[in-house]
Chains A and B, each alone.
Chain A
């Protein structure tokens, strides 16, 4: 069985910016597990090779965690105007561009760091949900809330696919 690392990240106090955590918690429920604390950023060692690591922002040392996984999914929100589907799914490759400040690292950059430092590249995807309300607060907009379940479906499909692949092998 491949090892999966799911990285939901965002600011849980900025409404739709924290949609990834809602997606992760719903996934936990769909897998038949209990959500420990709905107020907390979810981090779970689910078992069967699946790890969920909730983060506020991405940082360089995450490269080491990527190097130890076979499949990685970054889960985030995107803003209107990004030109993406409401539930955006994309396979990404490593690409590191200069950062303006410390607080800004893209999934592609972490993946590039992983390649450069550890000479290993997991299959890496971005799952991003359209956000419309990034004001202060813990509740999602109704639009983002409606996209949680489709996003979870996308993750379930990925997990099912790899489970079947494992069975076939």
Chain B
């Protein structure tokens, strides 16, 4: 009788994920799945609210990337209000977004990815963490914390808050940027740029030295999707482009028209839907988003240092770069771009302008906001009545766009590295590491203490638990 392994890795009550590894009668991994709960509850929770409340409500979805929800929501609210924010407001919003990219990408690489890379997948969990990293490379660890804090400071100095900001509003933003805050952001930029470049060197060295692992680890073909502006990487505003597994252009569309191009497949083993490109159908239309997806879509980056890195990255493959572990390198290239772009924005003469909000509103009844969140393309879509009361809300969250890719990665890694009869910490860590490449937002809802971060249960075909491994 076949067995089933379930990895229940995340602590949340809602929005949590599990990995189930189905084992055949011969004791080998037959297939692995990743199951995720989605935020449909949040969508229903929002109905009946006023549209202009959404930029305040939706950051509560996530404590790590609240800015992405805040800005996607504000963009949707702009369209419901029938307004276009003035240029200075657009620049300020983009600067806030760059702060978010810097803090999120830096946190992921230095805090989560680098212990795997520098200390090894099989290292004792007691040392395979950022403290172990501090012991191995204390200077790098300090840089990691400073980078994360820098991104957070950009957010705080713009919006006035660490969390739950009220700053982006329909038609613009509620407060301008003070010159002393602009000067502070610029004063730190060179130091932070060096830190990111140090991280890039770490990532490149590891990837070059571990090509056997890289090529065997969740390396597969897919389409790639991301925002793009005339061939350049775009993180804030622009059309969405898709290329196929050969890197050939497939389609480019206005982000507001996503429903014409993206469908979501429902599988009975996951609450999280599987988006795909409609015209190709399921499963041919599945794609990857976030750093790997965005860089595979981009021909260039319009900031110089990041563009030089992109050239090296593009040279890695004749076509799209496919191994999932390259997400880490791509993430740092985007991190560098975000920092360079933040400097450009701070040096724009309009960045200190007081012309930050358009207040002439006319309710249109519908609005879509799209942004490239750190974890991928994020859509907020609201419908309202004539008074601006929300009647329907649809969110395609960034992690949802990578749902298929994460499950595919888990399946490949489990088949390659997991021996169900002799489970080891290193095997489980590799399955987790496959998910970690995508930096998913699985735990955005609650985080009450006392739940087990990781449990693995072995079940037979009837669901009876045969063995359990737990780690906290």
Q: List B113-168 residues whose CB lies under 8 Å from chain A.
A: 115, 125-126, 128-131, 134-135, 141-142, 144-145, 148-149, 152, 162-164
B13 at the interface (CB under 8 A from A): yes
Verify B442–A103 contact, CB threshold 8 A: yes
A64-103 to B contact mask, C-beta < 8 Å, 1/0: 1000000000001111011110000000000011111111
Complex Cα–Cα for A11 and B447 (A): 8
B224-257 to A contact mask, C-beta < 8 Å, 1/0: 0000000000000000000000000000000000
Verify B454–A11 contact, CB threshold 8 A: no
B451 at the interface (CB under 8 A from A): yes
**B128 is contacted by which of A63, A98, A103 (Cβ under 8 Å)?**
A98
B80 at the interface (CB under 8 A from A): no
Given A59-B107, A60-B107, A61-B145, does the pair A99, B450 have CB atoms closer than 8 Å? no
Q: List B399-452 residues whose CB lies under 8 Å from chain A.
A: 429, 432, 435-436, 439-451
Verify A55–B162 contact, CB threshold 8 A: yes
Contacts of A16 in B (CB 8 A): 448
Contacts of B41 in A (CB 8 A): 135-136
Verify A98–B131 contact, CB threshold 8 A: no
Complex Cα–Cα for A152 and B351 (A): 45
Complex Cα–Cα for A97 and B64 (A): 19
Complex Cα–Cα for A113 and B142 (A): 10
B42 at the interface (CB under 8 A from A): yes
**B10 is contacted by which of A81, A101, A112 (Cβ under 8 Å)?**
A101
Verify B441–A103 contact, CB threshold 8 A: yes
Contacts of B128 in A (CB 8 A): 98
Q: List B48-96 residues whose CB lies under 8 Å from chain A.
A: 57, 60, 62-64, 66
A14 at the interface (CB under 8 A from B): yes
Verify B115–A103 contact, CB threshold 8 A: no
B457 at the interface (CB under 8 A from A): no
Contacts of B111 in A (CB 8 A): 60, 99, 102
Interface residue stretch chosen among A28-36, A126-134, A155-163: A126-134
**B64 is contacted by which of A54, A57, A109, A126 (Cβ under 8 Å)?**
A57
Complex Cα–Cα for A106 and B393 (A): 33
The interface on chain B, measured as residues whose beta carbon lies within 8 A of the other chain's beta carbons, has a size of 60
In this complex, which of B11, B14, B125, B449 has the most chain A Cβ atoms within 10 angstroms of its Cβ? B449
Contacts of B262 in A (CB 8 A): none
Residue of B nearest to A12 (CB): B60
Contacts of B448 in A (CB 8 A): 10, 16-17, 76-79, 131, 134
Verify A82–B104 contact, CB threshold 8 A: no
Contacts of B64 in A (CB 8 A): 57, 59, 102-103
Verify B10–A116 contact, CB threshold 8 A: no
The interface on chain A, measured as residues whose beta carbon lies within 8 A of the other chain's beta carbons, has a size of 50
Given A40-B164, A57-B63, A116-B131, does the pair A11, B449 have CB atoms closer than 8 Å? no
Verify B45–A79 contact, CB threshold 8 A: no
A104 at the interface (CB under 8 A from B): yes
Distance between A44 CB and nearest chain B CB, rounded to angstroms: 14
B27 at the interface (CB under 8 A from A): no
Verify B429–A98 contact, CB threshold 8 A: yes
**A101 is contacted by which of B57, B112, B446, B472 (Cβ under 8 Å)?**
B112
Given A13-B45, A41-B163, A113-B130, does the pair A56, B60 have CB atoms closer than 8 Å? yes
Given A13-B57, A14-B445, A60-B130, does the pair A103, B62 have CB atoms closer than 8 Å? yes
Given A11-B60, A64-B145, A97-B472, does the pair A102, B112 have CB atoms closer than 8 Å? yes
Complex Cα–Cα for A59 and B164 (A): 15
Complex Cα–Cα for A84 and B449 (A): 10
B108 at the interface (CB under 8 A from A): yes
**B453 is contacted by which of A81, A100, A113, A136 (Cβ under 8 Å)?**
A100
Complex Cα–Cα for A113 and B112 (A): 14
Residue of A nearest to B56 (CB): A39
Contacts of B445 in A (CB 8 A): 11, 14, 17, 134
A165 at the interface (CB under 8 A from B): no
Complex Cα–Cα for A78 and B57 (A): 24
Contacts of A96 in B (CB 8 A): 129-131
Contacts of B107 in A (CB 8 A): 59-60, 102
> What are 17 A-B residue pairs whose CB atoms fall within 8 Å in the complex?
A57-B447, A59-B148, A64-B145, A82-B449, A82-B450, A97-B126, A101-B442, A102-B108, A102-B112, A102-B439, A103-B441, A103-B442, A104-B10, A113-B134, A116-B131, A116-B135, A117-B142
Binding site for B on A (CB under 8 A): 9-14, 16-17, 40-41, 43, 54-57, 59-61, 63-64, 76-79, 81-84, 96-104, 106, 109, 112-113, 116-117, 126, 128, 131, 134-137
What 19 additional pairs, Cβ within 8 angstroms, besides A60-B107, A102-B111?
A13-B45, A17-B447, A40-B164, A54-B163, A56-B63, A56-B163, A57-B447, A61-B148, A81-B450, A82-B451, A100-B436, A102-B112, A103-B447, A113-B130, A113-B131, A116-B135, A134-B13, A134-B14, A136-B42
